[in-house]
Amino acid sequence: MYDERAVYLVTDILKDGVARRPAFGANFRFPFQCAVKTGTTKDYRDNWTVGYTTRYTVGVWVGNFDGEQMRGVSGVSGAGPIFTDIMTFLHTPPYGQPPEDFPVPPGLVQRPVCARSGKIPGPACRKTIMEWFMEGKAPVSVCDVHREFIVRGPDGRERRETFEVFPDEYRPWAASERIPVPPPGARRASSAAPGSERIDRLSIVSPSGGEYFKIDPVLRREYQKITIAGFVPRGLSGVVLRINGREDIPFGPSGVEWCLQKGMFRFQLQGRKGDAVVTSAPVVINVE
């Protein structure tokens, strides 16, 4: 017996190009969902890459049959390119078809979180990512790392600036990373300040607006999707994503996966609270 959800989480990490990048660099980029893991013996004697899609499992081993050491070849540079070629061949016409996406088992939910704190994104957060959680385990508190301060500039004028304020146990790390701290005399922006109440409001948290996306002419269109993620406060019902003021798509807790199309798009969330219609601030993106 195995925990289907645990397997899925591993799959999600292994198929997640962003999560893989620190270890694998730009290797293993597929226009479809594919989980990948590599292995290298300590002395570079041999290496392997195994992976799977919903259609195929592929394992590649590279080494000398007499067990002699290879020179500086890891699972990424040795078996990796062969694995990539085979997987691509198996899922590309005329030989094969792209695989289906990995099914999401019941009991998992996807939620937008602040990339730094892993909590619910607040108005000062810089980057939002979508993360998987077991139902009931998603974060319930708003990011307290990103905080707005009022600072006095060299010209003597006051302005608002966001700083990252970490819990005590991370302070030495933050200092070693040279993460800026609020200058002396800076004070917390008041919670009644404009914008700070936004976290309670219906809002689109990703994309943040003003982005340009480019359609890849080679990649199949169904793989060129972005996730429109948002914050939906309690008590709102019938929330939809409204595109360019007309097309409405039902908006669930994990957002909406939207296929890129050329043009300028204005996204807005709209829901109902009792008899009142509640609308989020619009977010505009460009797709070329």
Contact positions vs Zn ion (CB under 5 A): 114, 117, 125, 143, 145-146
Decide whether 104 or 129 has the Cβ nearer to Zn ion: 129
Contacts of residues 30-34 at CB distance under 8 Å and 24 or more positions apart, as own/partner, are 30/84, 30/87, 30/88, 30/91, 31/98, 31/219, 31/220, 31/223, 32/91, 32/98, 32/99, 32/101, 32/223, 33/99, 33/101, 33/102, 34/87, 34/99
Decide whether 111 or 146 has the Cβ nearer to Zn ion: 146
Decide whether 196 or 224 has the Cβ nearer to Zn ion: 196
Decide whether 107 or 139 has the Cβ nearer to Zn ion: 139
Minimum CB separation from Zn ion for residue 193, in Å?
Answer: 17
Minimum CB separation from Zn ion for residue 202, in Å?
Answer: 19
Minimum CB separation from Zn ion for residue 117, in Å?
Answer: 5
d(CA 16, CA 7): 14
d(CA 187, CA 207): 29
Minimum CB separation from Zn ion for residue 189, in Å?
Answer: 15
Minimum CB separation from Zn ion for residue 144, in Å?
Answer: 8
Decide whether 131 or 248 has the Cβ nearer to Zn ion: 131
